[in-house]
Amino acid sequence: MTTAPPRNLLIMRTRRRSRPAAIPVYLGLSVGLLLALIGAAVTGQVPLSLDQILKALITPFETEEGQRLAHVVFWELRLPRALMALLVGAALAMSGAALQGLFGNPLADPGIVGVSSGASLGAVAVIVLQLDTFGLWTLPLGAFVAGAATTALIYVLAVRTPQGDNASLLLIGIAINAIAGAATGYLTYLASTAQLESLLFWAMGSLGSIDWRAVAVIAPIVVLAGWLLRRQATPLDLLALGERQARHAGVDVVRLRRNLVILTALLTAAAVSFTGTIGFVGLVVPHLIRLLMGPGHRHLLPLSALAGGLLLMLADIGARSLDPPSEIPIGILTATLGGPFFLWLIARGRGMGKRA
Amino acid sequence: MNPPSPNTFENAVSAIDVVSVSLTLGGKRVLHDIDLRCEYGRITALIGPNGAGKSSLLSLIAGDEQADTGEVRLAGDRLTDLSIAELAARRAVMPQDSVLRFAYQVEEVVRMGRALRDLPPEQDDTVVTASLHAAEIGHLATRDATTLSGGEQARTTFARVLTQQTPILLLDEPTAALDLRHQERLLKSVGKLAQAGCCVVVVLHDLNLAAAHADHLVLLAEGKIQAQGTPWQVLDAERLGNVYRQPVSVISHPQRDCPIVVTCDTPSDEATPDGITTQDGITRAYR
């Protein structure tokens, strides 16, 4: 076999074209987010015109007569809700991308380290045991704390196994998830009919009860944890070589694993604490971005955040407008879209695994 | 030839210093009281039959395993005192099998070698291109690295190890998946690194490759060093016959100044009955 240097050089020069340039993708997703934001503002039971929204935007603190309803609907209902969709979608998609990288498994999602089942248990416990220590904040707080605590338990147990590796984390995660599921089931069994309604609502996910306070609590967590997660991009890339080879190249695998578990637990717990469980965003979005941009985490993490936010904003518009005046739980919508999409990915041949 | 006594060169700092190291893996003692020095500017080849402890010794030096007794020093510092980042700055490791869990491109994989090194980033492109060229995978730069053949994978891993730019290279059977040309190419580029002052330790199964390319051979069997020295000193027909339990002849290379080991018939082959059980517990039928 001979490889003439000129041919080599030619290929070296053209190699950068093989992956799409990142900037247009960032721009495209940003424009998409802006359009989705406008879409979220104009759709709903009270029709708003672009003109009304513009007026509300220009004068956030004063309202002229006749503009009052539009003002309240935009500022108090639709904008915080759309922003929450953006934050939750971004948090879930980023967590999914990071955990898939950590486990080297494209099927990993934020549920794998127990946040979702723990948060469900916390929420169900608050509802069924009628806790109201912190008033309206009891439910999200209970979900957040239980989600984070479940992850911490899984991590501590996994570290104490003889291997202390990713496989232990995965196996103990499965066991603890099952236990949390059983406890949730037991509490559900005890619940009254009225409580069951709330439970169902939480289990299917909804952005219906979002206000500015919720956004104000979640936004700093998502931004900070997301920024810290993005800083792990290079070690996450190297982890694709396997734990041992990553360590040879300078990755402190134990520390990386701890950081990733903490950050993704934080992101996911924050995301689901106010909105309930919303599935498939964390699973599907990173796949799409990998198909488009390759597996490098430098772009995968931020682009997953943008695309996850966009997807959830669109899903929420759908949830609000498909069956007016009632709202379809958003978790049902994401699962309806995500399931078939995932099947399509699998049908693409090796789409699921290494290619994706 | 006896290993140089550690006391002889107490002042000189060797690249790798293995001092009376024993290692137990899975309840089995795989290395017994090993003393070994590997110097800069040399290729040291670890040779020996299957299960001799070659790869165990290499992963011990790499820092993957903890010795039961004794210690390993890299450039004078105890392995256990070095951080993961400091280790990555001193030694690069080419494993026997390479894993890749997502569809990174060949060039992206090669780049990973120096991603966490504190090397000047403006040299990244030059070094990556040179490494791709050295491993003859320039034409594969944009290929999905999960779709490569075994030999292409090994060359990609080799290129990645090169980009790490460490003074110590630990290679575990780097040529196992390669064809003749690429075996030669790989060991030649390793030789250039040694000439430039690197310390290279390489596990080789092929005695003739070891004889042709290594400066120093270390013959291991049953977890002990049986002999070490130059190829001519170590590759002795009688010694190899005993260690490998296979009669060999050692002849001279027609062009290079190095020995060649060829296998010979076992004197008792004709007398061997059908289905004997060898010492490995493997039953073979001779017909």
Global ipTM:
0.86
Identify whether the C-beta of residue A268 lies closer than 8 Å to the C-beta of residue A122. Answer: no
Two tokens at A172? 């103990």
Nearest CA in chain B to A234: B115
Nearest in space to B258 (alpha carbons), one of B194, B185, B204, B207: B207
Per DSSP, the residues of A314-354 read: HHHHHHHHSSTTS---HHHHHHHHHHHHHHHHHHTSGGGTT
What pLDDT, on a 0 to 100 scale, did the predictor assign at position B47? 96
What pLDDT, on a 0 to 100 scale, did the predictor assign at position B13? 83
B/e letters for B61-75, b = 16+ CB within 10 Å, e = fewer, are bbbebebeebebbbb
Q: Does B181 touch chain A (CB under 8 A)?
A: yes
Domain A25-352: CATH superfamily, name plus number: ABC transporter involved in vitamin B12 uptake, BtuC (1.10.3470.10)
- Residue A28 carries which DSSP code? H
Two tokens at B181? 């040309």
Residue B54's contacts (CB-CB under 8 Å, 6 or more residues apart) are B46, B47, B48, B203, B220
Please name the residue that has the structure tokens 């495209």: A28
Distance from CA of A88 to the nearest CA of B (A): 26
In this structure, how many other beta carbons lie within 10 angstroms of the beta carbon of residue A160?
10
Mean pLDDT of chain B: 88
Return d(Cα B30, Cα B51) in angstroms, integer: 8
Q: What is the pLDDT of residues B217-240, one digit of tens each?
A: 999 999 999 999 999 999 999 999
Mean pLDDT of B138-156: 93
What pLDDT, on a 0 to 100 scale, did the predictor assign at position B269? 55
What pLDDT, on a 0 to 100 scale, did the predictor assign at position B24? 93
What pLDDT, on a 0 to 100 scale, did the predictor assign at position A195? 86
**Order of strands, edge to edge, in the sheet holding B28-38?**
B28-38, B16-25, B69-74, B77-78
Chain A to chain B, count of Cβ pairs less than 8 Å apart?
A: 114
Distance from CA of A177 to the nearest CA of B (A): 25
Quick check: helix, strand or coil at residue B207?
helix
Which neighbouring-strand residues pair with B276?
A: B284
What pLDDT, on a 0 to 100 scale, did the predictor assign at position B164? 95
Taking CB atoms and an 8 Å limit, are B99 and A5 in contact across chains? no
Distance from CA of B268 to the nearest CA of A (A): 43
Q: What is the pLDDT of residues A90-120, one digit of tens each?
A: 999 999 999 999 988 877 887 788 888 898 8
Q: Does B125 touch chain A (CB under 8 A)?
A: no
What pLDDT, on a 0 to 100 scale, did the predictor assign at position A109? 80
Chain A residues with beta carbon closer than 8 angstroms to that of B112 = 237-238, 241, 249
Distance from CA of A103 to the nearest CA of B (A): 9
When CB atoms are compared, the residue of A244, A249, A295 closest to B116 is A249
What pLDDT, on a 0 to 100 scale, did the predictor assign at position A211? 87
Taking CB atoms and an 8 Å limit, are A244 and B95 in contact across chains? yes
Taking CB atoms and an 8 Å limit, are B104 and A235 in contact across chains? no
When CB atoms are compared, the residue of A3, A252, A354 closest to B102 is A354
When CB atoms are compared, the residue of B95, B129, B141 closest to A245 is B95
Chain B residues with beta carbon closer than 8 angstroms to that of A248 = 62, 87-88, 91-93, 95
More confident call, B273 vs B216 = B216
Distance from CA of A242 to the nearest CA of B (A): 6
pLDDT band at B134 (very low <50, low <70, confident <90, very high): very high
Mean pLDDT of B261-287: 57
What pLDDT, on a 0 to 100 scale, did the predictor assign at position B268? 63
Chain A residues with beta carbon closer than 8 angstroms to that of B146 = 354-355
Taking CB atoms and an 8 Å limit, are B112 and A294 in contact across chains? no
Taking CB atoms and an 8 Å limit, are B103 and A12 in contact across chains? no
Return d(Cα B277, Cα B287) in angstroms, integer: 14
Q: Does B64 touch chain A (CB under 8 A)?
A: yes
When CB atoms are compared, the residue of A104, A105, A249 closest to B112 is A249
Give residue A347's Cα distance to chain centre: 24
Q: Does B264 touch chain A (CB under 8 A)?
A: no
What pLDDT, on a 0 to 100 scale, did the predictor assign at position A17? 45
Of the listed ranges A44-53, A113-122, B182-191, B248-257, the one predicted with least confidence: A44-53
Taking CB atoms and an 8 Å limit, are B88 and A241 in contact across chains? no
Taking CB atoms and an 8 Å limit, are B102 and A295 in contact across chains? yes
* Helix H or strand E encompassing B279: none
Chain B residues with beta carbon closer than 8 angstroms to that of A234 = 115-116
Residues in chain A predicted with pLDDT less than 70, given as ranges, are 1-18, 63-66, 349-356
Q: Which residues of A touch B (CB under 8 A)?
A: 1, 3, 5, 7-9, 11-12, 14-15, 18-19, 101, 104-106, 234-235, 237-242, 244-245, 247-252, 290, 294-296, 354-356
Of the listed ranges A271-280, B201-210, B246-255, the one predicted with least confidence: A271-280
When CB atoms are compared, the residue of A7, A18, A235 closest to B105 is A18
- Which residue ranges make up each domain of chain A? 25-352
Taking CB atoms and an 8 Å limit, are B108 and A251 in contact across chains? no
The answer for B 161-180 residues in CB contact with A (under 8 A) is 164
Chain B residues with beta carbon closer than 8 angstroms to that of A289 = none
Taking CB atoms and an 8 Å limit, are A249 and B138 in contact across chains? no
Taking CB atoms and an 8 Å limit, are A250 and B84 in contact across chains? yes
B71 pLDDT exceeds 90?
Answer: yes
pLDDT band at B12 (very low <50, low <70, confident <90, very high): low
